[in-house]
Amino acid sequence: MMNRFQDIDGKPHPYLDQSGSDKKLFFEVDLAEISEDSENLCMSPLTVLFVVYSELLMPVAICDHHRNRVSIPATDAHERREIERWTKEKMKFDMMDAQYHESITHLGFTHMLMDGVSVCARRNLSDRHPLLILLAPHFRYMHQINYLATVRLLNKNGYVDQDMLISRKEMLMAVAKHNRTWRLDHHGSFKKDLRTRGVENLPGYYFRDDAMKVHEAIQDFVDEYVKLYYGCNDDVSKDYELQDFRTELTKQRNLNGTGGCGMQGVPEFENIENVVTTLTSFIFICSVEHSAANFPQFDHYGYPPNHPAILDMAEHKDVEEGIDVLMPTTKQFFSTLSIMKILTMVMTNKLGTYEKEYWDAMDRSAKGIIES
């Protein structure tokens, strides 16, 4: 992990003890993925190295792969230019993180991914199928929101094109690229994903701690619910609607309306456990993961230096004085503010509470589980 940061080794650093006597925990966030396919040369791939102090992550170095440059915090707390330089580097990293967050974490792997799952479910499970009744509340408003995103945000010269660094084409390319390797049994499995990302034991990662408890609650609920309708594994194998649902989830995508989700890593629906695991992942992504990606947007993006959707990345701005030279235009600033305000409105119910139409669709046994 430290290899690309080796040129900070041995140099004076304001936080790190160069003697090596302090064994601190290091974590690296690599945003190379967001810029690899970019046609925009300003989108330099960036990697940030964090060190953990108590339960706080502190950035200690930022590597700009395009410029082959490693930056560290100001070593002199009284040197204004030095402080500005490090602040600018952090703002650029946060801006690149914003492109990743909105493209992959939010749009691609909650909204668009679950759009396909919903279509596959509705194509293959009848309206009265208990598993569609279980899933449907979690797809509420999703298709309408996704449609609005394509015509109001992802449209040509729309919000993404004008007020984010990434263009609509680059955003869709980033999602498509990530989609080629995304697997339900890996990236869609909350616990496995934590292990892969190396954050299983990251101190102060409160989302993981809270989400773990909610994940267990969803899994217990789904397990009890599914067992109401499937007495044994054979019942699962013989449910042709359910089998067709899985077939379409894994079927190759195409643009003529006859394709599926092209989803990799979907377990065979040959036993109850695999169905429970799959449905738990879908409900978790629709609820917990989307909430974590969506609802803090105004808090993060409402103050541009904190998480800028766009900065003025002209090369000479690096050496100009002050951080104001990087700031978005007034139009870009207010455009982000108003969109984030709308996107963070809470219109759906809490987990376990159902709108009347979904509640009425459930039979007495299902309602009994929810009420217990």
To Fe ion, the closest distance from the beta carbon of 177 in angstroms equals: 21
Binding segment for Fe ion (CB under 5 A), chosen from 9-17, 51-59, 135-143, 294-302, is 294-302
Per-residue contact flags (x/-) with Fe ion for residues 242 to 281, judged by CB under 5 A: ----------------------------------------
Name which of residues 136 to 155 contact Fe ion (CB under 5 A): none
Cβ neighbours of residue 323 closer than 8 Å, sequence gap 6 or more: 84, 87, 88, 91, 305
To Fe ion, the closest distance from the beta carbon of 163 in angstroms equals: 17
- CA 43 centroid distance within chain: 20
Binding segment for Fe ion (CB under 5 A), chosen from 6-14, 234-242, 260-268, 287-295, is 287-295
Contact call for residue 294 and Fe ion (CB under 5 A):
yes
To Fe ion, the closest distance from the beta carbon of 187 in angstroms equals: 18
Closest-CA residue to 282 (of 270, 272, 290, 273):
290
Helix (H) or strand (E) holding 56, with range, is: strand 56-64
Contact call for residue 287 and Fe ion (CB under 5 A):
no
Closest CB to Fe ion among 265 and 296?
Answer: 296
Binding segment for Fe ion (CB under 5 A), chosen from 40-48, 164-172, 184-192, 290-298, is 290-298
To Fe ion, the closest distance from the beta carbon of 297 in angstroms equals: 8
Closest CB to Fe ion among 42 and 145?
Answer: 145
To Fe ion, the closest distance from the beta carbon of 343 in angstroms equals: 6
Helix (H) or strand (E) holding 30, with range, is: strand 26-30
To Fe ion, the closest distance from the beta carbon of 290 in angstroms equals: 6
To Fe ion, the closest distance from the beta carbon of 168 in angstroms equals: 17
Closest CB to Fe ion among 124 and 287?
Answer: 287
Per-residue contact flags (x/-) with Fe ion for residues 299 to 338, judged by CB under 5 A: ----------------------------------------
**Which is it for strands 26-30 and 46-53: parallel, antiparallel or unpaired?**
antiparallel
Closest CB to Fe ion among 140 and 317?
Answer: 140
Q: Long-range contacts for 350-356 (Cβ within 8 Å, ≥24 apart)?
A: 351/214, 351/217, 351/218, 351/287, 352/221, 354/137, 355/137, 355/140
Q: How far apart are CA 245 and CA 125, in angstroms?
A: 7
Which residue's beta carbon is nearest to the bound Fe ion? 294
Total residues at the site for Fe ion (CB under 5 A)? 1
Closest CB to Fe ion among 287 and 294?
Answer: 294
Structure tokens given for 228? 């109401």
Contact call for residue 103 and Fe ion (CB under 5 A):
no
Task: Answer left, alpha or beta for residue 141, where phi above 0 means left and psi between -120 and 50 means alpha.
Answer: left
CA distances from 194 to 109, 112, 190, 327 (A): 16, 22, 6, 34
Q: How far apart are CA 89 and CA 313, in angstroms?
A: 11
To Fe ion, the closest distance from the beta carbon of 211 in angstroms equals: 17
Binding segment for Fe ion (CB under 5 A), chosen from 21-29, 292-300, 309-317, 345-353, is 292-300
To Fe ion, the closest distance from the beta carbon of 268 in angstroms equals: 31
Closest CB to Fe ion among 294 and 335?
Answer: 294
DSSP H helices in the chain: 32-35, 80-100, 113-124, 130-135, 142-148, 159-163, 168-179, 190-196, 206-229, 233-238, 240-250, 272-284, 290-294, 297-301, 330-343, 356-361, 364-371
Binding segment for Fe ion (CB under 5 A), chosen from 89-97, 123-131, 293-301, 344-352, is 293-301
Closest CB to Fe ion among 107 and 222?
Answer: 107
Collapsed DSSP state (helix, strand, coil) of residue 14? coil
The residues binding Fe ion (CB under 5 A) are 294
